[in-house]
Amino acid sequence: MRDQEPAISFRVLEHDEPGLEVRVNFGVFAGRSATPAEVDALAEQLRSRLPSFTIVAEERHEFGRAVETSLHQVMIEVPRDQVGESPEVLAEQIVLAANGWALDCIDRRGSSQLAE
């Protein structure tokens, strides 16, 4: 019976790379992670440009021999079949939308690292 339960941890053998990925260094400038409501607001902005996409808001912890890093990042992933014939133009549109979204979020919460 136990074999039929979902696994808590599992190995991913294959990973479909997105056709386009934009990363937003949200935590570097906001000093915090993006809220679920803020991620929803970003999705609303992107819906007019993209029929299908994924937003990943994550807290990353990277470890090395002499360094430990923690960062809050938002990634926008567009499937290959949604990128179209002008990936550079689409990427620029997404970057501009994400920049505007991030600056708006930072402004509203007053948590900017931009002036420092």
Q: Averaged in consecutive runs of 10 residues, what is the pLDDT profile of the chain (116 residues)?
A: 75 86 94 95 95 95 92 95 92 96 90 52
Does 97 fall in a domain? yes
Domain count, the chain: 1
Name the residue range of residue 70's domain: 19-109
Residue 2 located in a structural domain? no
44-50: Cβ within 8 A, 24+ apart: 45/97, 45/100, 45/101, 46/76, 46/94, 46/97, 49/90, 49/93, 49/94, 49/97, 50/78, 50/82, 50/90, 50/94
Residue 24 lies in a domain: yes
56 lies in some domain: yes
Q: Considering the domain boundaries, does residue 87 fall inside one?
A: yes
Per-residue pLDDT, 2 = 59
